[in-house]
Every structure is written in C-alpha cells, then in structure tokens.
Amino acid sequence: MSHENFSHNESPTNHLPKRIALVLVDRDGTLIERVDYLSDPNQVKLFPGTIPSLRTFAKLGLRVAVITNQSGIGRGLYSDSDMNAVNDRMLALFQAEGVGVDGIFYCPHTPDEHCSCRKPGTGLAQNAADQLGFDVEHTVVIGDNISDIEMGWQIGVPSILVQTGLGNEFKDQVKLAGGIVVADILQAALQIEKMITSTSMESPDA
C-alpha cells in the first residue's frame, strides 16, 4: 500500500542503538523475488544477495526474524498451509547453503481489518522480538515496501529500503525523508556491518 506522506510521528533513525541484536527482514521482494499473492513453492526464488546477507548477519552475531504481511490469507486467495509450504521451500534453500533464520512471523489480515500486526503497524515486530527474547528497540528493519520503513521508524530503529521488489517505487520518497536506500539485501547487510563497526570504534569500551 502506497502512502503519499509519512506520518508526522515517523522520522528516520539512521544510527544503530547502543545494542543491536535482531534483524527484522521482509520476505517478498527482499529475501525472495516478489510474486503477487505467492502460494506456489515452486515459484520461490532467492535474490543473489540473500545467502551472502544471511552469512553476514551470522558473522556479526545477529539473529534474524522474517516478518511478512500475508493478506492473501485474509482475502481467501490461499491458506496458511500454502504459505507454510512457501516458507518451507525458502528455508530449504537456506539450509542447502548452511544458513537460516530464527523465526517467521506473519500477519494474515487484510488492510480493511485494521489490525495492529499488519505492517506498518508495529505488532508483528513486537511479537517477533518478544518471542525471540529481545527488546524491539534493539532491532534493525530491512524491506522493499514503504510499510516496512514506516514500521521501523515508528519503533524508532534504523530501517533500510532495498531497491528490489517494490523498492524502486518508494526510493525517492524514503531518500527525501532522509532514510537509507540501498540496492539489495546484501548491501543492507553490509550497511549494518559498517554501522556496527563504526559504533564499536566510537565506543570508549571498544
């Protein structure tokens, strides 16, 4: 869903908090190629940078949670089982390369249901952080949709727009607001690595 303007309560936070522990990453258009209302596991295709990015997160000691809006369930276009089959295929591709994620969290609701979990609402992020034992303020967000960025800014954490998936549609809007825009998820991972390294070098305890 496109928003013409950001809420007055939303503004970029481009510096990592003192402690970063969890990456909240979108699925469709970020980790895997975007297919409208994806329900066929055979259509799952990873972006070239997906595996290297997960390796980078592991090297940095970061945990990873996938958070995804899946309104196709609420619209009756596919079932929870269909979505799980897609996720299982993605996880199998990860496992084949020796990487993985710590959890997948989804919102099945349509926009008309006005739930708290659908991005840009923060409920999905909060749920992921709670279940994995982290403070949601110790996260960083990566996604291809304006809803991902708005969610992260509402939480008050760094949020990185990738130009895969829907990203090109929103890149100018995010840049104009002072947000972070990169080519793909690997560049997002490298940006996070740079931010962590910079923060460590500036810390008196480093």
Positions annotated as catalytic residues are 26, 28
Q: What are phi and psi of 132, to 5 degrees?
A: -95, 0
The neighbouring-strand residues paired with 67 are: 105
Of 124, 105, 123, 125, residue with least CA distance to 22: 125
Give ∠ CA 66-26-162 in degrees, rounded to 5: 140
> Which contacts qualify for 188-191: CB closer than 8 Å, 24 or more apart?
188/53, 188/142, 188/160, 188/162, 189/49, 189/52, 189/53, 189/56, 189/57, 190/56, 191/160
Give the DSSP letter string of 51-76. Answer: HHHHHHHHHTT-EEEEEEE-HHHHTT
- How far apart (Å, rounded) are the C-alpha atoms in residues 128 and 114? 19
- The radius of gyration of the chain from alpha carbons, rounded to an integer in Å, stands at 16
